[in-house]
Copies of this chain bind each other. A is one copy, B any other.
């Protein structure tokens, strides 16, 4: 591959993933109460990683950030599937794998291989980095929901127990020690529809 073709391939990829800005998630933004798109969601998650990374010592945080930046790119083709919806996970995995091959395949081999590996690592949830990243991918919408009158929980009429059951295992597994503070947020939301981000921890 000559230099012009190499650079053109990278630019083609960078143009293609602009499409992630048009993929809407179910969550709403705090200020405008409009649906969040997957590109800004990915930025927010990367910021969550930078802000909370020290809670899991020994983590390769740079890999977590890179993983979060690419984790939703397959949605350019496959769309976003809301966590509280019913879907065929096997069929979805197949569609996303095809999307990954196509979109990351726009890149020269070194970049393609790296991003494919990061995306597969995220999906497999086997490394501590992937577990941490998955936990943030649960924590961010949870925080948004508590600040947007329940957000997707209200929309899907979820009980406090259902919320705890859907978020706790992933967050607890990925970020040791954080769950009590998150649980306090959820509890406080369901008790008083409070709109502050301050958890009622036992120490206060």
> What is A's interface to B at a CB cutoff of 8 Å?
2-5, 7-8, 10-15, 17-22, 29-32, 36-37, 39-40, 42-44, 46-48, 50-52, 54, 62, 65-66, 69-70, 107, 110-111, 115, 140, 143-144, 147, 178, 181, 185, 197-199, 201-204
Contacts and interface: CB of A to CB of B under 8 A. Distances in A.
B51 A31 contact: no
Contact of A18 (B12, B144, B185): B144
Contact of A15 (B2, B30, B203): B30
Contacts of A44: 14, 17-18, 21, 39
Give the number of copies in the complex: 2
B5 A204 contact: yes
Nearest to A23: B31
A202 B36 CA distance: 42
Contacts of A66: 50, 65
Q: 3 nearest interchain CB pairs? A: A4-B201, A43-B43, A39-B40
A178 B65 contact: no
Given A7-B178, A22-B32, A37-B40, A14 B143 contact: yes
A184 to B, nearest CB: 8
B181 A13 contact: no
Given A19-B30, A31-B19, A39-B44, A197 B8 contact: yes
Contacts of A10: 51-52
Contacts of A107: 51
B2 A21 contact: no
Contact of A198 (B11, B18, B47): B11
B31 A204 contact: no
A19 B107 CA distance: 32
Contacts of A19: 30-31
A3 B203 contact: yes
